[in-house]
Structure 1
Amino acid sequence: MKKILGLLSFILVVCIGGFIYLTSTDESVSDGEKVVINHIMGTTEVVKNSKRVIVFDYGIAEMLNTAGIEIIGLPKEGMPKFLSNYKDEKYINVGGLKEPNLEKIYSIKPDLIIVSGRQEPFYEQLSKIAPTVGLTTTGEDYIKVLQNNIEIISKIFTKGETLKNNLLTIENNLTVIKEKVEKNGLNALVVLSNNGKLSAYGLKSRFSIIYDYLGFKNLESITASTHGSKINFEYILEKNPDYIFVVDRSAVVGGDVSANKVFDNDIVKATKAAKNKKIIFLDAEIWYTAAGGINTTQKMIDEISAALN
């Protein structure tokens, strides 16, 4: 009997030891370690490799998806096509981008909530439910913002380190395009079309990657603002840019007038960009809704690269 009990005890010790070893070598499993994250909305203590993660920014969701970091919920209404894997029922709909469902979020007991500017009014309430980190995917310096987000994600998640290699690829691709653009001395105007109304974006704006990192000359100083500077077609003809990059907000949020229809007029046709077939309608789902991800940033670069051919 003593021999049998001794053998069983030995087996039990081996099994427990093996489990502890497997757990400790799985970097994706939280071990209770905490890290302090400084972010745009404050300072938050977060559990390393958090497991029950909610994300309120599609660019950040795409970045986590690229790194193989699982989440449990995100806003599903208006979700971009490239995040279609999150349509699965196992991912919980946590409300809208501008109005989180606080009761639903509380009920599913997250251990980390990642928000962006749209949810800032709810930051205090969300912080009472779980550690909440505020990131942004737009700003005066697009790539600097991207670098900062990758640093924060890498600090929270071990798998986030892989994103740094993706960033190097992006930076190299940007350099290649910038050299080509600057060699040809090209200028551009970035226009947001919103149900027939036009806004121009210049330096230090949400679309300034076109100027700062892709090398296009800015035609004049346009005041940086969230919604751009209001312009008309006469303004576009007066500036007469080499390229006109159009982001159709109506294609994303809904509207009665598409940008293609809006730009189909005699004034626009008289511009140099129109004559040279250099009015480029960008993928609004990426540029307006989900900038700041890894694959989305590369797709933005690819669109500009294709426009140069």
Structure 2
Amino acid sequence: MLSRTRSLALASGLALALSACGGSSDSDSASGPTVAVEDNNGTQQVPQEPSSVVATDNRTFETLADWDVELSAAAVSLMPETISYTKDKDLVDLGTHREPDLEAIVAAKPDLVINGQRFTQHEDKLKELAPDAAFLNLDPREGEPLDTELKRQTEVLGEVFGKQDEAKTLGEDLDAQVARVKQAYEPGDTVMAINTSGGELGYIAPTVGQTFGPVFDLFDLEPALEVEGASDDHQGDEVSVEAIAKADPDWILVLDRDAAVAADEEGYTPAKQLIEDSEALQDVTAVKEGQVVFAPADTYTNEGIQTYTEIFSAFADALEEQS
């Protein structure tokens, strides 16, 4: 088991207190004792023992599944196959953020909705459809350290579901890998993050880019290339292999988007093969030295604390091997 003393800074980011709530509601499930927790929108009174839970935030799926939290409805269509909920035929599917079936939440009669990430845009509508439910949004907040935000999310969920010890362990596991990367990374080594989608390479910008953007800030990585006006586009920003070769990064971090959403489709080419087959990249330092780190295949539709722990572990392994 990975372990490390959890940073005390996390404690100041949480305000957790039990309260006895004697209020009543028209909902069958919205009465009883509550726990007061802090989310992105302030203090929320959440059922201490929720009877109907709905989840739409990709980052929470693996944690909830590992903790055996029963869901009545979820964004199943957004889940990678690695999540056990995808095998539950009775679980109501709310669809994807692009083609949602929001009305399906009504039959679930939730008293708790864990909303976020891609479904944040639908929160107002979901609240209209489930007016008696408590809502939690624990998306990592802009400008806050990624590791602290992942632990904040996990600890709040641990308080809600009585899994404080498990949440603490997940936080310690993450801390251990963060510490390894910080210890092994050589300041000045240049890093580039790329996304593969549809057989093309995309540029993932520091700070704002998908998955790896905030990793640059967390570890103070030196960007090999900075593109003016870079975005958080899910496929990355357009970049040529020639531009990558010219930047000559010491390290490349790779997100294989299609591995999560199109691996079974005809024509899918794994990210590793795309890089190996590109003649223009063969003289790039990261490629020549074997300093290319691939995120787990389900990362694009997961991005939970476990996923980042795996990414940082792989990065630390590679850094330590080259030191």
TM-score by length of 1: 0.77
> For residues 151 and 224 of structure 1, do their structure 2 counterparts lie closer, same or farther at Cα, with a shift above 3 Å needed?
farther
1:219 to 211, 224, 232: 224
RMSD: 2.9
Structure 2, unaligned runs of 5 or more: 1-29
Tell me, in whole angstroms, the C-alpha distance in 2 between the residues paired with 1:131 and 1:49: 12
Deviations 1:78-118 (A, max 9, x none): 52232135412343323224443233210121111111132
Match of 2:23 in 1: none
1:207 to 194, 212, 216: 212
Aligned partners of 1:193 and 1:250 also within 8 Å: yes
Match of 1:289 in 2: 301
Q: Which has the larger radius of gyration?
A: 1
Letter in 1 for 2:79: M
Aligned partners of 2:196 and 2:254 also within 8 Å: yes
1:108-123 correspondence to structure 2 within 5 Å:
108-123=108-123
SS in 2 for 1:283: coil
Counting helix residues as a fraction of each chain, which structure ranks higher? 1
> For residues 182 and 277 of structure 1, do their structure 2 counterparts lie closer, same or farther at Cα, with a shift above 3 Å needed?
closer
> For residues 175 and 209 of structure 1, do their structure 2 counterparts lie closer, same or farther at Cα, with a shift above 3 Å needed?
farther
Q: Percent identity?
A: 23
1:146 counterpart = 2:150: yes
Tell me, in whole angstroms, the C-alpha distance in 2 between the residues paired with 1:217 and 1:122: 36
Tell me, in whole angstroms, the C-alpha distance in 1 between the residues paired with 2:203 and 2:226: 14
SS in 1 for 2:76: coil
> For residues 278 and 83 of structure 1, do their structure 2 counterparts lie closer, same or farther at Cα, with a shift above 3 Å needed?
same
Tell me, in whole angstroms, the C-alpha distance in 1 between the residues paired with 2:109 and 2:315: 42
Tell me, in whole angstroms, the C-alpha distance in 1 between the residues paired with 2:244 and 2:138: 34
Tell me, in whole angstroms, the C-alpha distance in 2 between the residues paired with 1:102 and 1:163: 30
Aligned partners of 2:40 and 2:141 also within 8 Å: no
Matched residue pairs, number?
Answer: 278
Letter in 2 for 1:132: F
> For residues 260 and 86 of structure 1, do their structure 2 counterparts lie closer, same or farther at Cα, with a shift above 3 Å needed?
closer
Tell me, in whole angstroms, the C-alpha distance in 2 between the residues paired with 1:159 and 1:200: 34
Tell me, in whole angstroms, the C-alpha distance in 1 between the residues paired with 2:230 and 2:166: 33
Match of 2:15 in 1: none
Offset of residue 167 of structure 1: 0.3
Match of 2:284 in 1: 271
Structure 1, unaligned runs of 5 or more: 1-29
Aligned partners of 1:59 and 1:137 also within 8 Å: no
Tell me, in whole angstroms, the C-alpha distance in 2 between the residues paired with 1:304 and 1:138: 24
TM-score by length of 2: 0.74
